Chain A
Amino acid sequence: MNTSGKRFRTEPSWVPWLFLSPFVITIAVFLAWPLIQSVLLSMQQTYGPKTSRWIGFENFTFLLSDPLFWKALRNTVIFACGSVFLQLPLSLGLAMLLNRPGLKGRAFFRLIFFAPSLVGLVFVGLMFALMFEKRTGMINVALHALFASFNPEFPWLQEYVMPALILAALWLYVGFNMIYFLAALQNVPAELMEAAALDGAGPWQRFRHVVVPEIMPVVSFVVLLSLLGSFQLFELPFILLNGPGPDNRGLTIVMYLYQMGFTANDLGYASAIGWVLAIMLGTFAFGQRLWLKREEKR
């Protein structure tokens, strides 16, 4: 029955369900069902998808004392710090350069900076694996040419795995995050900036008291995206190092999950790692909401 009181014939009620059916079906089969299974799996020990046995919470207690998991967590946290404290300031800096009034070729520069994010992680990993080679790799050759004291045998992929990963990720993601910052900066009302300038605010004061509060919602969103992405880092080190790297120096949480699930064939332990990861990611998302709320109250 039409309760809205409109004179017009409304659509039959099955129509929206028809349009939504692909989503509802795939979400039930490929999301809800595996999600339930992952809870059950996390309490089992399996060998491949066929054989399993119940072990209760043993996966989780074992995980807490598993030195490899802690190593993976440590590496992942280092990478996340690199993303938030190196990558994002560079992205914001580039966006501010591009947002200069009177700048010509903005679209052109934006296109260049964005180009690396189109390259799949596998291909970035392969490129940088060759670029980080000792002696022959482009990075050591270039650094040695710029700074004569730089050792051309610098062992990036043997000993300095995390710095190498952070550098590769810089190349890959600085331009991507810049797009968000640039969009936010372009939304800062010009009148606000002019009014602040008329009141005698210098460039730093204008940045601190006009720009920062205006772009804060987007900044918190990008920080969250960056944390979520960093904690799910897998393919880049996996390809760059062709595995976890020497002495597991490039092992990340998701790489450990993959190894446990698909090399050691214990889907149960892999699911337990997945849940611990999900809880960490959920905490970040919750933290971002709190941060935004606090900003709004100011």
Chain B
Amino acid sequence: MSSELTFSARQRLVLVPVYTLLVIASAVTLVPFVWMACSAFKNNADFFSSLFLPHGDGFLGIDWGRLTITNFKRLFTELSIGNALLNSFFLASVSALAATLCSAAGGYALAKFRFAGRGVVLNLVLVALVIPGPLLMAPGYQLIYKLGLLDTYAGLLLPGIAPAFGIFLFRQAAMNAIPHELLESARIDGAGELRIFFTLVLPLLRPMIGAFLMITFLGTWNNFIGPQIILQSPELFPLSVAINQLRGLYGTDYGMIMSGTLVSIAPVLCLFLLLQKEFIAGLTSGAVKG
């Protein structure tokens, strides 16, 4: 980068307030995370007596001995938070895989095939994109009830296996990433359509697949209202619903609530750190063109 070589001292000075503001904004962003993580390891007395970690004579002026993992032990023994954790993993993985596969297939079909009815389907996608979720809450519940799917994972998962949002994103990705000649030559070589899709098309859509897996995993993991309305048996609850119920059971036991929250958000934060590049690219790809 030649521009950095010609960077004058004056311009460098301009960056000082920029860095200052960015560091302050970062601190404000991170403090709630730090506070929550600290609170999760404190007993209730220390929760009220210290803001972050309890003061003492230990390293960095902190009384490390007062920290405890009792909150986590109680979460996993007194309550079946381990079960809720598994439920969340199951629901989020299944819905992410299904939604990604169905969206990739549908988007590919809309981008690379010419067929009667294509325009109609494309319009359906656009209409589905603008229907607000809350409008479907009451009739959707009635439908799930009539189908006998209340209190089942099928009732929770089936409506989301092929989201219009995904079809739209994958259609755009397929238009850009899949050369028509490649499909033609594969067909001349006698490859079946399903084989073409799985061995040729899916690998070419990889960047969008990574982003969309992450988006749908996160969406299902964090979904509260769906399971809250559809599920009734506590053993089926994902973390979002189970953790909210902690509050009724342990209303004033703040350490418990914060350790439950930490257990709930740590997995997705880790996942994001691994996949953040793809994720952000996927988020903005639909928007940049306005």
A residues lining the B interface (CB < 8 Å): 4, 8-13, 15-20, 22-27, 29-31, 33-35, 37-38, 41, 49, 94, 97-98, 100-103, 109-116, 118-123, 126-131, 136, 138, 141-142, 171, 175, 179-180, 183-184, 187, 217-218, 220-221, 228, 232, 234-235, 239, 242, 253-254, 257-258, 261-262, 267-268, 270-271, 274-275, 277-278, 281-282, 285, 292
Cβ of A13 to closest chain B Cβ, rounded Å: 5
Specify which chain B residues have a CB less than 8 angstroms from the CB of A281 in the assembled complex. 130, 132
- Of A20, A187, A218, A285, which is in contact with the most chain B CB atoms at under 10 Å from its CB? A20
Cβ of B89 to closest chain A Cβ, rounded Å: 14
Asked, given contacts A126-B244, A127-B36, A175-B29, whether A270 binds B130 with beta carbons under 8 Å apart, the answer is: no
Contact B139 A113 (CB under 8 A): no
Contact A8 B188 (CB under 8 A): yes
SS class, residues of chain A in contact with chain B: helix
Contact B35 A138 (CB under 8 A): yes
| Interface 9-residue window, one of B18-26, B55-63, B70-78 | B18-26
Contact B284 A235 (CB under 8 A): no
Extra pairs beyond A180-B287, A261-B138 (19, CB < 8 Å): A16-B115, A16-B118, A17-B117, A20-B109, A23-B102, A30-B136, A34-B142, A38-B136, A101-B3, A115-B33, A118-B218, A123-B261, A127-B36, A127-B261, A228-B132, A232-B132, A232-B134, A271-B139, A282-B130
Specify which chain A residues have a CB less than 8 angstroms from the CB of B249 in the assembled complex. none
Interface: B203 (CB within 8 A)? no
Asked, given contacts A94-B25, A118-B218, A218-B290, whether A27 binds B284 with beta carbons under 8 Å apart, the answer is: no
Per a CB cutoff under 8 Å, which of B102, B137, B145, B289 touches A22?
B102
Contact A171 B109 (CB under 8 A): no
Per a CB cutoff under 8 Å, which of B15, B130, B138 touches A257?
B138
Per a CB cutoff under 8 Å, which of A34, A112, A187 touches B140?
A34
Contact B3 A274 (CB under 8 A): no
Specify which chain B residues have a CB less than 8 angstroms from the CB of A123 in the assembled complex. 222, 240, 243, 261, 264-265
Counting contact residues on chain B (CB < 8 A from A), the size range is 35 or more
Specify which chain A residues have a CB less than 8 angstroms from the CB of B159 in the assembled complex. 26, 30
Task: Kindly state the separation between the CA atoms of A37 and B102 in the bound complex, as whole angstroms.
Answer: 26
A-B contact count (CB 8 A): 262
Contact B139 A38 (CB under 8 A): yes
Task: Kindly state the separation between the CA atoms of A174 and B45 in the bound complex, as whole angstroms.
Answer: 34
Task: Kindly state the separation between the CA atoms of A119 and B84 in the bound complex, as whole angstroms.
Answer: 17
Cβ of B133 to closest chain A Cβ, rounded Å: 7
Contact A30 B140 (CB under 8 A): yes
Task: Kindly state the separation between the CA atoms of A103 and B17 in the bound complex, as whole angstroms.
Answer: 12
Contact A122 B113 (CB under 8 A): no
Specify which chain A residues have a CB less than 8 angstroms from the CB of B193 in the assembled complex. 11-12, 15, 18
Asked, given contacts A23-B162, A109-B22, A271-B139, whether A131 binds B134 with beta carbons under 8 Å apart, the answer is: no
Per a CB cutoff under 8 Å, which of A15, A118, A142 touches B269?
A118
Contact A27 B109 (CB under 8 A): no
Contact A262 B33 (CB under 8 A): no
Task: Kindly state the separation between the CA atoms of A141 and B39 in the bound complex, as whole angstroms.
Answer: 15
Contact B290 A221 (CB under 8 A): yes
Contact B280 A114 (CB under 8 A): yes
Contact A19 B187 (CB under 8 A): no
Closest to B11 in A: A102
What are 5 inter-chain pairs, A to B, with CB distance below 8 A? A16-B110, A22-B161, A30-B143, A123-B222, A257-B138
Cβ of B178 to closest chain A Cβ, rounded Å: 13
Asked, given contacts A126-B257, A127-B261, whether A19 binds B109 with beta carbons under 8 Å apart, the answer is: yes
Specify which chain A residues have a CB less than 8 angstroms from the CB of B19 in the assembled complex. 103
Asked, given contacts A22-B162, A171-B29, whether A100 binds B18 with beta carbons under 8 Å apart, the answer is: yes
